[in-house]
Amino acid sequence: MNEHDTALVRQQLCPTGTLRAAINMTNGLLVTGLGDSGEPVGVSPDMAAAIASKLEVPVQLKPYPGPGFVADALAEDAWDIGNIANEPARAKLICFSPSYCEIQATYLVWEDEPLKTPKDVDAPGRRIAAKARAAYELWLSDNLSQAELETTDSFDSSVELFVSQHLDALAGLRPALLKEHKNIPGTRLMEQSFTAVQQSIGCRHGIPEAAQWLQNFVNESLRNGFVAELIERHGVTGRLSPSPSLN
């Protein structure tokens, strides 16, 4: 890309001169901690910093308490790129890059229940606890045909609902459910996943050159091993997987 093209992308993507990057703080695999100044640390912040470095602009990390808050903030022009899961309902508002990494989503179920696969859970009378507006909950809302989805404001409250009302299943990301499996006696983590949550870089619609640049950046980061390097650096190997790159 020549200097003129880069200048156009810079103008479209960060017109203030600083790349404002929205970071979902509730994904403990992509944000693994806080730095000395309280800034987010992890794969997602490092991806944002790498984009800013490539464009030769400063980066401002803007933390949000959940992906729904990130999506809502775009209407207020509060960020330039948003690092959240690529999901069809969100794609109506956000232009997403290809996925740079993915996390398996599945169910935690009670050991004495005869539920072996996600298909077994989607049955009349079955009730599933899930965090509202999480990518996996949006997927379930679109794809469940018979089971009833019980949503809460946070993952922790969905765990509480699952336990207190003895619901049939708790939906979530596999690493988080593995932790809950160890904490809740009599539960079993389902081997099969019902979907994989694809983590992408989002920007607003209507800036095609910038969107293409982000697509190229993500695919190059997958091809050259940068995403895999970040996953290893932040200690989430085996829980977070690089997505296959596009040809």
Q: Identify whether residues 87 and 207 lie together within a single domain.
A: yes
Q: Are residues 162 and 94 in the same domain?
A: no
pLDDT at 244: 81
- Do both 96 and 140 map to the same domain? no
Residue 66 in domain: yes
Structural domain containing residue 206: 3-101+198-242
Q: Which tokens is 218 given?
A: 């993500």
CATH of the domain at 43: 3.40.190.10
**Residues 204 and 84 reside in one and the same domain:** yes
Does the residue 247 lie in any domain? no
pLDDT of 155 reads 95
97 and 10, same structural domain? Answer: yes
91 backbone φψ class: left, alpha, beta (φ>0; ψ -120 to 50): alpha
57 within 8 A of 17, measured Cβ to Cβ: yes
- In this prediction, residue 113 carries a pLDDT of 94
Q: What is the pLDDT of residue 247?
A: 47
Same structural domain for residues 68 and 178?
A: no
Identify the domain boundary among 195, 211, 232: 195
Same domain, 37 and 107: no
* pLDDT recorded at residue 197: 86
In a domain, 152, yes or no: yes
In this prediction, residue 205 carries a pLDDT of 97
Residue 62 lies in a domain: yes
Q: Which residues, 6 or more positions from 39, have their beta carbon under 8 angstroms from its beta carbon? A: 45, 61
167 and 215 inside one domain: no
Query: Domain for residue 113, yes or no?
Result: yes
What per-residue confidence (pLDDT) applies to 238? 79
Please report, for residues 18, 120, 205, the alpha-carbon distance to residue 102 in angstroms, rounded to integers and kept in the order given.
28, 24, 23
16 and 96 part of one domain = yes
Q: Which residues pair with 41 in a beta bridge?
A: 33
95 plus 111 within the same structural domain: no
Tell me the residue length of the chain: 247
Structure tokens at 64: 């949000």
Cα separation, 202 vs 214, whole angstroms: 9
Pair 125, 169: CB distance under 8 Å: no
202 in the same domain as 187? no
209 and 95 inside one domain? yes
Residue 85 domain flag: yes
| pLDDT per residue of the chain (247 residues) written in tens, 0 to 9 | 556 588 999 999 999 999 999 999 988 899 999 999 999 999 999 999 999 999 999 999 999 999 889 999 999 999 999 999 898 888 999 999 999 999 889 999 999 999 999 999 999 999 999 999 898 999 999 999 999 999 999 999 999 999 999 999 999 999 899 999 999 999 999 999 999 888 999 999 999 999 999 999 999 999 999 999 999 999 998 788 899 866 4
In a domain, 36, yes or no: yes
Question: Which of 195, 213, 229 corresponds to the end of one domain?
Answer: 195
Split into its structural domains, the chain has a count of 2
